[in-house]
Structure 1
């Protein structure tokens, strides 16, 4: 770019003089632009950069002084070099006027070629050097901006890192330490004291005291890692437990690195300790949850297997409908339990879910206090309610629009007492023998939950009372419908079945 030709503008209304200037300045090797009027000069200047303007003072329409004044008014050309050529003897007043208009020099006519070339060369080189300086300055500014941006980013990262470290230290999650291998001096920061649960004002930093804060089961492994520094090891990382003076155990991960002298002898060991107790507890909870999910899945499969194996019906369609209903009931209670992370189920939510398919007609009334059921109790009670509501819809009060069903419950001495009272339905007669539905309700409540199921066959409607202990529950690994041996024969169709 430094060797590129620069523009030199020649302005004169006489072609012969323009030709003479071109011949004189040709050997400079620059780009010579000749124009015959001030207007043409202005047009070229607006479109191009010009290093030097050689202009005749005396020109028609727009003379050299007027052209110079117009050029200087433009911000781009306020520093452009202009040399006036005058064929007449100029007075001091004219020279002063020319300098005021922005002229840098005068050349009289006749023109001495060597003088004109020398003057033009000086201003051309000055223009070139000025542009070089401008480019160098721009490059320098770019580098400064880039470097400043890098420093700002680096500073921001350092500040962010220090903020994270400060937050970790403030929360007692991270600490750093330093140990002089030669004289045995220790240095702990605030975070290290917090992790180990000791007061920096009263705790004396000695190797013996520090070792006493480690869990006894982890001391030997840490000693071996520590001894490795004397055998050429340069770093280590290990998980260990801290036994705080108040008895609390904290899990930590520690990293350390050794610094050696020129002979390779360890002179200092520095490290960082991070409290990972929350992570460890989360891992334990995750493991427990995994085992719990596995356990629940096995129970659900066993329950489904019992439903499929023990369901009775007169034909395939009825069998499919019965199995689907019971599996759906199981799915509903599973959803309720999932919402509480299998901590239990509120009985009102459970009852509402099971009667939902039959509640649109407004025939069902429920009432009772809030009771939280254990998962096993909730599953078994849900299936019992499903049997009752299904049979009520087929044969009882829910089979006609005039029928009514009241479900109420209360708790007495850690025992849930649920009453199922039907009325307004078809006339009821006591069946000669218990149907499959009745036997399954009794078996599930009594065998699995250690409770009691009583059925009262009134003409105006069935009353069923379920008594369920809330504290002592038979193991939830038992499957629903563990029926007596006689119930495995083909069922006889009855009112509840």
Structure 2
């Protein structure tokens, strides 16, 4: 009996040992499996974090009840913070959101319901250093059994680079549209301002001026609008008059690359001088010659046009249209001046063109300003014109006068218009883009004085400064009827302010 008891005890001990070994084996296996699973989960989380970081993304959660935040490294990187999420309150995170976008985010959260718990929005954040970043935010809400919001979680994608690319593309598109409209307005001004003794003469004059603009446009396009070589510009403009041996035209001067506005101005001025010489001056006979020389001193370019050997000429009794274009365009586009000296055998003309803003000529009232001011008493409204394109300014002034009003200007920039802006005015027409500056300071002066004005621009309305979007806009090229209707809107506002 005792042997049997010991035998059973031994057998059970062996069984217990076997069970223990089996349990240990299973524990080891389960532990290894758990470690492998944990490692895989960790790797997965690391891969997710790397993917989010590579995509400039971050994930986050908010416990609505406790106000406790949690987020990953990607979100911390977007916020540009090394503070722990637990250190942030709801108010702290709200301060990170751009003030103009906070109301939209509040509305987004308020619109979440148990049946519609996912939302997305684009919003800006402001980093501690003041840098603004654009973010695309996708949020999902969790609701408790009683329908109360309990948790919000989501992902944030930094889309700043995409937004900047879009802004550059939009800016480029607006600039292309602006340049195209401005070019059309310049051509329209040429058509309107050109006079001719016959249809044929008028057609030739318009074609010649448009061809001069097209020529300089080709030169600028070849140089990607970085500038035009002055020697080449002059040489190609005068090539048709050089004669079979090229001896009728002599050009020479220092090497110089002109920025686009000055190149266009000089091209148009040379065209007018050459056309006049071909009609009445040294290029109207077989013996006459033209020399064009230029030099730069103290930041000022002086181009001298000299005719010789032509028929006897007399100074004109009044300025012709060509000389008006030269004077107005050189003054308006460059801040320079044109000087005419009529010699017996041809014209001696100097174009004085500052190459630097500090070298600009003293401002002088142009002929259009003096003539319109002299007749102001017989006009209806005194309307200031601020336009940096000389031809557009001249054409607009002519239209305003045809409509029975007085023109103050046209002025090419804010500096020369400053005195007039403080003077007696009834209304104003402002080009938005004035080359290196914008007309908004003038608009603010007029708005503060209660003087009505309209914008005349090649830009679309949504490109205007937000402060002035309620003011009327005329898009270039402008039509006479559209300008007339716009000016009519001045009268009620003037009566109201009176």
Name the TM-score, length of structure 1 as normaliser. 0.52
**3-state secondary structure, aligned to 2:96:** coil
Tell me which of 294, 306, 322 is aligned to 2:189: 306
Larger Rg: 1
Retained in 2: the 8 A contact 1:429–1:458?
A: yes
Alpha-carbon deviations, 1:358-395, whole Å to 9, x = none? 579654434335454463x4443332121123334554
CA distance in 1, matches of 2:129, 2:393: 52
1:326: how far off? 0.5
Tell me which of 299, 323, 340 is aligned to 1:455: 340
- Aligned equivalent of 1:317: 200
- Aligned equivalent of 2:270: 385
Retained in 2: the 8 A contact 1:310–1:481?
A: no
CA distance in 1, matches of 2:348, 2:304: 7
Name the TM-score, length of structure 2 as normaliser. 0.52
Unaligned runs of 5+ in 1: 1-158, 489-497
CA distance in 1, matches of 2:128, 2:290: 66
- Aligned equivalent of 1:365: 251
Retained in 1: the 8 A contact 2:57–2:74?
A: yes
Mapping 1:201-212, distance limit 5 Å: 204-212=87-95
Mapping 1:77-476, distance limit 5 Å: 166=50, 169-170=53-54, 173-181=56-64, 183-199=66-82, 204-229=87-112, 233-259=116-142, 268-289=151-172, 291-293=174-176, 295-335=178-218, 350-351=233-234, 354-355=237-238, 357=240, 362=246, 363-370=249-256, 372-373=258-259, 375=261, 377-393=262-278, 395-396=281-282, 403=289, 405-413=291-299, 415-422=300-307, 425-426=309-310, 429-433=313-317, 435-446=320-331, 450-458=335-343, 462-469=347-354, 471=357, 475-476=387-388
CA distance in 1, matches of 2:277, 2:86: 74
1:288: how far off? 4.6
CA distance in 1, matches of 2:53, 2:222: 37
- Aligned equivalent of 2:459: none
CA distance in 2, matches of 1:389, 1:167: 67
Retained in 1: the 8 A contact 2:58–2:74?
A: yes
Retained in 2: the 8 A contact 1:178–1:268?
A: yes
Retained in 1: the 8 A contact 2:114–2:142?
A: no
After superposition, the CA RMSD in angstroms is: 4.4
Retained in 2: the 8 A contact 1:410–1:417?
A: yes
Change (3 A) 1:356 1:226: farther
Alpha-carbon deviations, 1:270-293, whole Å to 9, x = none? 312122333434444455555545
Alpha-carbon deviations, 1:164-198, whole Å to 9, x = none? x9577347x43222334565443323332222222
CA distance in 2, matches of 1:305, 1:396: 31
1:246: how far off? 0.5
CA distance in 2, matches of 1:480, 1:308: 11
Alpha-carbon deviations, 1:9-55, whole Å to 9, x = none? xxxxxxxxxxxxxxxxxxxxxxxxxxxxxxxxxxxxxxxxxxxxxxx
Q: How many residues align?
A: 321
Retained in 1: the 8 A contact 2:313–2:345?
A: no
CA distance in 2, matches of 1:407, 1:197: 60
Change (3 A) 1:315 1:266: closer
**3-state secondary structure, aligned to 1:208:** helix
**3-state secondary structure, aligned to 2:196:** coil
**3-state secondary structure, aligned to 1:246:** coil
Retained in 2: the 8 A contact 1:180–1:267?
A: yes
Change (3 A) 1:419 1:205: same
1:318: how far off? 2.8
**3-state secondary structure, aligned to 1:221:** helix
Please say which of residues 462-471 and 250-259 is displaced more in the overlay.
462-471
**3-state secondary structure, aligned to 2:92:** helix
1:235: how far off? 0.8
CA distance in 2, matches of 1:271, 1:182: 17
